Structure 1
Amino acid sequence: MTISWTMVMDFTPRFAITTGPWNYSYTALRKSKECVISIPTIDLLDKVVGVGTCSGADTDKFERFVLTPLEGKHVRSPLIKECLANIECKIIDIIEKHNIVVLEGVAAYFDNSRKEKRTVHAVGDGTFIVDGRKLNRREMMKSKLPDGGL
C-alpha cells in the first residue's frame, strides 16, 4: 500500500504511519505485525500513485506496476528492489483511537547504485514536493545529536 502520512518518532528507529480498517492492507498489518517501508524516488511517482489508487484485494500490485519483490532478512513482507531505500519493520503498537501504527525498524537498506536519489512527499491534495538540495548543519547541532550520529 502507499502511505502518505508517516512520522519519525525520535532518534531511535521508530516510525508511525496512519491507516485503519478502511484500508485493505490494515488487516495484514494487524495479523503479521510487520511490514516494510519502501522509499521511492521521483522517477517512480506514477507507479506510487498507481499503487495507492488501487486495492490489493483485487490487484497484484507488484505485477501490475512491474515492481520486483525482494526477500527481507527479518520480516516476511517483501522489500521493493526499485526503491532507493527499504526499512524492515516490526509493529510495536497500534493506537486505534487515532489509527496510528507504531513501527520499529529492524534493518535498513539503501541502494547507492541508483542515480536518482530525489524522494517525493505527498501534500495531500494530489500534488507532491520533490526533495532538493541537502544542507549540512551537523557541526552547529552537534550537542543535540545522539552519539554516533545518524
Structure 2
Amino acid sequence: MAMPRKHAFPVDRIRHFLEPGPVVLIATAWKDERAVMTCGWHMMLGYDLVGTYIWEANHSHALARKSRQCTINLPTEPLLDSVVRIGNCSSAQVDKFERFGLTAVPAREVHAPLVGECHAGFECQLHETRITADYPLFVWRVLRAHAAASPRYPRTLHYRGQGRFMVAGREVSRRRLFRPDMLEQ
C-alpha cells in the first residue's frame, strides 16, 4: 500500500477524522420538563455502557443530573435537517418534540421519552458521572434497546465538523479474518 503524503493539519479540527460514531439524539425528562439534544460526543465503554459528554450549559444536562436517566436515539438520513435544527436551539425555551414534529414514545424502564422517528432507541440509567470543571461525562447503562428490523445497517449520520456530515454508506465484511471468539453474538 502506498503511503499518503501528509501535511500539517489544525489540531482543533481533528474531529473531521476521529468523530467517534453516529450523531444521536439524547432525550431527558424531569418532572414536567422534557428535552432532546443533538450529541456527537459519545463513546461505547462496554457492551451495555455508553459515555456521553453533555455540556453544563445545555438544558439537557440539568435534566439528566436530576433524573439520572435518558434515552439515546439513533437518527438516520431522513432526520438530518431536524438533527441540525435541534442542535441550534434550547429545550429551555422550546419543546423540541413539538417544534420538529417528533413523536415522544413512552419508554418502559425510564421516564425520558424515546424519539419515535429514530431507527433505534436505548433506555439508559446513570451508572456514574465523571464531571470535572471542563468535562461533564455521563456514563449510562443501557437497560432496554429498541431497533427497527430493517434496514439492518441504517444510514446513520456522522458529523465531520464545519457543518458537514457523512452518511453511512457502503459496508464491507472482514468476518472471515476474525477469530470466532472475537465476534459478538
Same fold by TM-score greater than 0.5: yes
Q: Point out the more displaced range, 136-145 or 64-73.
A: 136-145
| Corresponding residue number in structure 1 for 2:129 | 94
| Equivalent pair of 1:42/1:130 in contact (CA under 8 Å) | yes
Q: CA deviation at 1:108?
A: 0.7
Q: Over residues 112-137 of structure 1, what are the superposed CA-to-partner deviations in whole Å (9 max), with x where a residue is unaligned?
A: 25699201011232111110122222
SS in structure 1 of the partner of residue 61 of structure 2: helix
Q: Given the alignment, which residue of 2, 5, 8 partners 2:44?
A: 8
Q: Over residues 68-118 of structure 1, what are the superposed CA-to-partner deviations in whole Å (9 max), with x where a residue is unaligned?
A: 011111011000110000011111111112211111111111112569920
CA distance in structure 2 between the aligned counterparts of 1:9 and 1:124, rounded to whole angstroms? 23
- Larger CA Rg, structure 1 vs 2: 2
Matched residue type, 2:69: E
Give matches, 1:30-41, under 5 Å.
Answer: 30-41=65-76
SS in structure 1 of the partner of residue 179 of structure 2: helix
SS in structure 2 of the partner of residue 2 of structure 1: strand
Give matches, 1:1-150, under 5 Å.
Answer: 1-10=37-46, 12-97=47-132, 98-112=135-149, 117-143=154-180, 145=182, 149-150=184-185
SS in structure 2 of the partner of residue 82 of structure 1: coil
Q: Normalization by structure 2: what TM-score?
A: 0.74
CA distance in structure 1 between the aligned counterparts of 2:115 and 2:80, rounded to whole angstroms? 14
Q: Normalization by structure 1: what TM-score?
A: 0.90
Q: CA RMSD in A?
A: 1.9
Closer, same or farther: CA 48–116 of 1 in aligned 2, 3 Å: farther
Identical counterparts, % of pairs: 35
Q: Point out the more displaced range, 45-54 or 119-128.
A: 119-128
Unmatched 5+ residue regions in structure 1?
none
Regions of 4+ moved over 4 Å: 113-116
Q: Point out the more displaced range, 69-78 or 109-118.
A: 109-118
